[in-house]
Structure formats: structure tokens, C-alpha cells
Structure 1
Amino acid sequence: MTDMNIPQDLLLSKRDGLPDALRALIKAYPRAGWVQNPNYSQLIAFWLDRHMMFRRLLDQLDSDVKAALDGAESQDVYKRKLHRFGGMLINELHGHHQIEDAQYFPVMAKLEKNVERGFDILDTDHHALDGILSDLATSANGVLQHGGATAGFIDAAAAFKGRLDAFHPMLNRHLTDEEELVVPVLLKYDPPQFR
């Protein structure tokens, strides 16, 4: 499904939202009315909950690294948290994106041809996020493998914080755009395979 011919201004690192042509369904099915819609399903609730989990994990990783950098948390305690929450974020995001690319997006793009291009954009986001997640994991491993002086640990943690700060807005942009495409399609069509 991936169409790598996405205009530069619609790449995840550049855009501040989807173009108006891809936002027609979100206007017809605004976020404020999702839960009240009769087609709001357990799948939608579960899927949105997964997105909330990703946002919470990012917030947790951010507060933990700040505590480590401020000296409010020991290296050992921080490393345990980073291993747990960082691993959870990376592994869960990879699995989530694989299911979307293989199962959900192709079906939804066929249901609503007017937003098919939006699913291409989201698929391209997933490929971009894979590379960013790999860099994030490498940076986290630099922290986890550090066993020396405090100064080196602080440098490694600061480098991880920088990667995390760059990743956070891009993941949030992707999740928001994805929600504003996927949920309206599910509300409009209530496909039986996704109930």
C-alpha cells in the first residue's frame, strides 16, 4: 500500500496536520461525538486506548529522564524504568503499526476512497517512525549500557532526552492524524470485520 511519492510538506517531520481534502470525514464525524455515535465499537475504544498508552509511555519516559538528569533518581532505578517503559513503547508501537499496515489500512482505504491518500501518508509515517524508533532504541541502549562515571551517564541520558524530545511531537502528530482518519471511517461504515 505504501506510496513513497508523498509530497515533502506532508511528511511526518514537516506537516502540522492533514490537508483539508482528507479531513472531510472528521468534519462529518467530529471527535466530540465519537463515543455517542451508535457505531462506536469496542474496537474503536481499544484502538484509542492503545494510542493513549503510547502517549502516557512517552510522558513517563520524559519525566523519568528528567528525574535522572536532575539527580532525583539513581542511575540504577532510572535504567530499570527506561528498560521497562522504553522497551514497551518500542515493541508495542512496532506491533501496532504492523497490524494497521497489514490489516486495517488496506480495508479502510477501500471503504472510503476519498481518504485513500491519507492511509498512504500514514503508512509512510510508519516507515519514518521505524527509523526514529531504531535511533531511540540505540540511544536508550547507550544509557542502559553505561556503567561508568556520572558525567558519562548524564551525557548519555541527555542524548536520549534529545531524541525523545524530537520523537514526541512527531508521534503525537501521527496518532492524531491517524485517529482523525480511522475513527470516522469506522463510524461511517461500521465494517463487520472490525466489530
Structure 2
Amino acid sequence: MTAFTQKLNPQEALSPRHPNSRLQADWLFLYDKLPPAQWFSAEYVYKTSGWLNIHADIRKRQHILTQISDAYHSGSIEWSEYRVQLLPRINQYIMKLHHHHNIEDQAYFPSFIRMYPQLKSGFEILDRDHIHLDAILNELQVLNGKLAISEAEDKALGEQLHKTLIDVSNLLSQHLTDEEDLVIPILGLN
């Protein structure tokens, strides 16, 4: 066994990766059996990499949107360039997130709860996140629609978009990490 695949000591394994995780220690019994250091090991990668790669793509898209918004607010790019870069990316981002969450809500989460009923409360947190994220994404879609018709610079709109992107980013950061801490061990061990 390599250092990469060695099991963490139990105290480390029971600490979720996000500092503000809402996961309770007793929900982490699978996380303890398959800690993050082993998620990409040869034994598990074929089961875990798909989900982790989707989340990596979501994080990358979120980071790019935030970078574009930051560049506009710092004066590094003009309004016209901001619009050209942001408009299509927001639409793709929203579409991909809605699609991913619908699959989770309709197929994966119910299946995982049937397999591990003791994790139901953890998945209920993730479901509530999806509802909250849908509301923020709908707001982001409305703002993006306004951006599409706002050829003249609208600093207030830019501020609203920036705040909404930060809100999505903050919630997604916690949500994706909590979700991975519950889901990846299920995928890897089953």
C-alpha cells in the first residue's frame, strides 16, 4: 500500500473536508472506510472519478465566471468584453447545474437513501441546497437576461451579477464538498 492510499487515522477520517460542513460525525461511517486520500486510488477511481470530474467541471466554470466578474469590477475589461465573456458561460453553467441536480434528485439520492437509510438526513440537507441553488440560479438567469439586452454599461447590474455569483460560489463550495463526503464513499464501496 502506498502513502497515497494509506488509510487516515480515525480522527482525521471523521473530519469533513469543508470547515463549515453540516454533516454529522455519525453520517461519516463510509467516509471513514473510504477517506479522500483513497478516492483516486486504483482500487476505486473507476467508480469515483466520474462524479468527482463533474464536480471539478462545476468548480472550474464557477471560478471562470467569478474571474470574469472580478476583471470587470477591477477595470481590467470593459463592459462589452464582460458581456461577451459572461453571457454564454452563465447559460451553460446554469443548464449544467440544473441537469446535474435533477439527475441526483430523481435517481441517485433516492437510491443512496434506500441503500443507507441512516444517511437520509444528510441527503435532505443536500436536497435543501438544491432548492436554494435553484432559486439563486433562477435569479442569475434573470440577471443574465438583463445583461443580454443591456448594451450600455450598467454598473448596478454588474454589481448584482457579481453578488449573485459570489452567493452561488459560497453555497456550491460547501454543497459540493458535503455531497462528495457522503456520495463518493457510497460509489467507491458499492
TM-score greater than 0.5 by the shorter chain: yes
CA offset digits 1:124-164 (Å, max 9, x no partner) = 2111111111112222333332122x3xx222111111111
Amino acid of the structure 2 residue aligned with 1:181: L
* Cα distance in 1, alignment partners of residues 128 and 42 from structure 2: 30
Amino acid of the structure 2 residue aligned with 1:133: L
Aligned residue-pair number: 171
2:130 is aligned with 1:129: no
More off after superposition, 135-144 vs 174-183: 135-144
Output the TM-score relative to the length of structure 1: 0.81
SS of corresponding position for 2:150 = coil
Contact 2:140/2:164 (<8 A) preserved: yes
**Structure 1: 4+ residue segments shifted above 6 A:** none
Contact 1:108/1:185 (<8 A) preserved: yes
Q: What's the counterpart of residue 15 of structure 2?
A: none
Q: What's the counterpart of residue 6 of structure 2?
A: none
> Equivalent residues in 2 for 1:24-35 (5 A)?
24-35=29-40
Contact 1:109/1:115 (<8 A) preserved: yes
Aligned residues: CA RMSD: 1.7
Segments of 5+ residues of structure 1 without an aligned counterpart are 1-14, 190-195
Segments of 5+ residues of structure 2 without an aligned counterpart are 1-19
CA drift at 1:113: 2.1
2:160 is aligned with 1:155: no
Amino acid of the structure 1 residue aligned with 2:23: L
Q: Which structure carries more relative contact order (alpha carbon 8 Å, separation 6+)?
A: 1
Q: What's the counterpart of residue 58 of structure 1?
A: 62
Identity over the aligned pairs, expressed in percent? Answer: 29
Output the TM-score relative to the length of structure 2: 0.83
